[in-house]
Amino acid sequence: MEKTSRRQALLTFGAGSLAALTGCNWDGHFSLLGYSTRPNYAPELKTIYVPIFNNKAFQWTPHRGAEMELTRAVIREIEATTPLKVISDCNRADTELLGTLVTLNKNLLNRNQQNEVREGEVALGVELVWRNLRTQQVLSNPRRPIGILQPGELPAFDQENQPRPEGPEIPIPALIVLSGRYLPEVGESNASAQQRVCNRLAKQIVQMMESDWCLPPNGMPMPLPTAP
């Protein structure tokens, strides 16, 4: 009986401590020392429109149509690992993901004694723009740390200078470059390397779609929330 009472007291103390750390306005998730039980993706975003990526890279056989394979890999990854639903109607979607394949390179990494390819790689570079179609916010634009002004931005307390006029946010494409290796001696080919790099790019793209991390100025740790 004494052990049960002690256990209940410890549980009550732990719950009270967590409630104090998370503050009074509790939303059902805990935040402690920079870690949180909140989902990685914004809960208000439900659907996404992913058109076929553009291709501005130099194409040659067997790498023609790489943008199609990359688009399919991105859609599969979104459906498999995120709560977002990919739909084909941009007018009903919450967000849209636009991609452009800008580089496609084949690199030789190693040769054998007969001057044949022993190890090679296929490298793809893609530019991405992810936009919220409801608010027109460009979600893929670089985030800035809290408390740090952008170059040319004036402090709010400067009364002699008027703030800049508000306008639509200009998208800054995010560039991702990854490579996929292939070994002809074990039966791998350019096609398998292209498939590998498309899958790697899809995983990286979906990871970049996670919710923002709140960055404090100068890389200092964020203070823990306190109860009022």
Mean pLDDT of 26-51: 78
d(CA 215, CA 193): 36
Residue 227 amino acid letter: A
CATH class of the domain defined by 44-143+169-210: alpha beta
From first CA to last CA, the distance across the chain in angstroms is: 36
Note the pLDDT tens digit of each residue in 59-94. 777 778 899 999 999 999 999 999 999 999 999 999
**Residue 140 clears pLDDT 80, i.e. is over it:** yes
Question: What's the whole-model pTM score?
Answer: 0.70
Helix axes 66-81, 190-208, angle to 10 degrees: 40
**Residue 217 clears pLDDT 60, i.e. is over it:** no
∠ CA 27-30-31, nearest 5°, is 115
pLDDT at 78: 95
**Residue 19 clears pLDDT 60, i.e. is over it:** no
- Residue, of 8 and 226, whose pLDDT is higher: 8
Confidence of residue 29 (pLDDT cuts 50, 70, 90): low
Torsion (CA) 7, 12, 17, 22 in degrees, nearest 10: 130
- Residue, of 198 and 9, whose pLDDT is higher: 198
CB 106 within 8 A of CB 190: yes
Closest CA to 205 of 148, 87, 126, 147: 126
Mean pLDDT of 41-52: 91
| 99 burial via Cβ count (<10 Å: 0-12, 13-18, 19+) | buried
pLDDT at 61: 75
Domain locations along the chain: 14-40, 44-143+169-210
